[in-house]
Amino acid sequence: MTFVTTDPVYGLLQLGDLDLALPLSALREVVPRPETLAPLPVAATGLVGAMGLRSMVLPVLDLRPLLGLDEIPPADQVVVVVVHEHHVLGLVVDRVRGVTRVPDRDLVELSTASGDLLVSHAFQHEDPTRPVSVLDAAHLLALPGMPRVPEQPAADTSAGPRAGRGASLTLVRCGEQVLAVEVDVIHTTIPLTDLRATLLTGGDCLGVTSYAGRDVPVVDPMTMIGLSALEPEEVCAGVVLDLGPGYVVLAVSDLIELRVAGDGVLPVPGFANHRVELVRGVLEVADGACLVLDGPGLRADGTLLALASVNTEETGAGDLGSAATDGATDGATDGATRGPAYLTYTAGVGLASPLEQVVEILPFPDALTPSAVDHVLGVLVHRGRTVPVVPLATVLGQEPGERGPSSCLLLVELDGEQIALAVDSLGGIEPIVWTDPDHRVVPRHDLTRAVHDAPLVRLSGGTRLVPALDLLHVADTLGLGEDHSSTVQPTAA
């Protein structure tokens, strides 16, 4: 499954108290501001000198004199290379805050009764009280007396696949390691100050954070590609990926810069690349090299797609949310083809079920409305519906385990009705890589035989075979969707 958005991408900039943005099409790259700038024999308001950028002399503009800003700028400013109609100009800003996608419908056009504005539009980003102003690249390069120079053509390189001017990258720091993420796959960048542990926490998933009214899984990109995990104190920012079924956030320490891969991305020999489908190659940077994550590989990764599918509305109570997704991905792992995402859990015995069969994953409630029906633990009210809670291990003829912190409810829907299947503990989400091709489905209504008759599957990253339980068949056998006065009639063990 591939998801590509057409919403325009903007680089987010900070200048004093001003929140600014530039369309990525007008933002060539970001470089540190030199300690000194060379003077030019040109008089133009805001022109602070010129700097050398590879073989080009780049005039540098500071907007502070034009805007009447007189505060002392920070010492670690950067220069944004702005391009318009094949000419470039350097623009001084305090820092780059990241990138974000903004639909045209969310842009507010700015105009004036007379004269020109430095900005063309505005939009809301994280704080609705602080609008972001979009700089007009054409106006910046047309300021009176402002020199501009022709844009350098892209370097002719055969260093690696997909090298060239077109690939825009966001460089991020993860502890001491620098990674580059293709901008095309990034939805936005956010500060990561609200990281909470949930039932999904474990493996690459660090927990969830709040974004766009949802609880979104946060993943450590370092462990995802086989490197040492980030320390908790190193997690300060997040790169939001929109994968179609939902969002996933890559945890990072800091955003470094934006740039184009004009000098090429160097491939890594396959035997030295732990995740060839996720690591596109290596890019040379000023103080060494960084790993470049592959955009299409991130979009197609089974684990990330599975996590994206369990975004949830911020309803509190640790709700892990909607899990509806097709989950189908293709890619290589352990020599096998990845298939749909499966949820692993324990209900007296270790089991796996297609993730698409689970509408939501809910924490085990503190209290239930009691029920007189055998094997119904009680009922709960969830999102305006009355949902019976049934212990899955019991109806399968298994001995349920002790209830613990990871005990939860798997919400299953059939014919417009829902049932919550209580399980002992939640495992994880992994794509299927093997199932028994000779298995034959035996139609039965005896749920105590369901585990014995289930096909065996192997999931990515594991060697153990587990029974794949059809939760819709369980719900149907229990009478969900039918007009029964008693919904649970299991066969005795």
Rounded to an integer, what distance in angstroms lies between the CA atom of residue 475 and that of residue 144?
Answer: 72
Where residue 492 falls among pLDDT bands split at 50, 70, 90?
very low
The distance from CA 83 to its chain's CA centroid, rounded to whole angstroms, is 29
Mean pLDDT of 422-446: 81
> Is 434 a residue whose pLDDT tops 70?
yes
Helix locations, 380-443, DSSP H: 392-395
Domains of the chain, with CATH numbers?
9-150 (2.40.50.180), 168-313 (2.40.50.180), 333-477 (2.40.50.180)
Q: Is the pLDDT of residue 48 over 80?
A: yes
Give residue 463's pLDDT band: very low, low, confident or very high (50, 70, 90): confident
pLDDT in tens, 12-27: 999 998 999 998 888 8
**Tokens coding 241:** 């990926």
User: Most distant CA pair in the chain: distance in Å?
Assistant: 94
How far apart are the C-alpha atoms of 252 and 221, rounded to whole Å? 8
Q: What confidence score (pLDDT) does residue 230 get?
A: 93
Greater model confidence, 258 or 59: 59
Does the model's pTM come out above 0.95? no
Structure confidence by residue, pLDDT tens digits, 468-488:
999 999 999 998 865 443 333
What phi and psi, each to the nearest 5 degrees, are found at residue 447?
-70, -20
Angle at the Cα of 164 (from 161 to 168), degrees rounded to 5?
Answer: 105
Give pLDDT, residue 324: 34
Q: What's residue 126's pLDDT?
A: 75
Q: How far apart are CA 123 and CA 118, in angstroms?
A: 15
Dist. CA 18–CA 466, nearest whole Å: 56
Q: Output 491 or 9, whichever has higher pLDDT.
A: 9
Among 64-73, 159-168, 302-311, whose mean pLDDT is lowest? 159-168
pLDDT-based confidence at 51, cuts 50/70/90?
very high
Instruction: pLDDT band for 7, please (50, 70, 90 cuts).
Output: low
At residue 4, the pLDDT reads 40
- 157 pLDDT tier (thresholds 50, 70, 90): very low
**Reduced to 3 states, what is the DSSP secondary structure of residue 300?**
helix
Closest CA to 204 of 257, 270, 275: 275
How large is the average pLDDT for residues 422-442?
82
Is residue 331's pLDDT more than 70? no
pLDDT band at 329 (very low <50, low <70, confident <90, very high): very low
Handedness of CA 305, 306, 307, 312 (dihedral sign): positive
Percentage of the chain exceeding pLDDT 90:
35
- pLDDT for res 418: 93
Please give the pLDDT value at position 28: 81
d(CA 90, CA 428): 48
- As a whole number, the mean pLDDT across the chain is 81
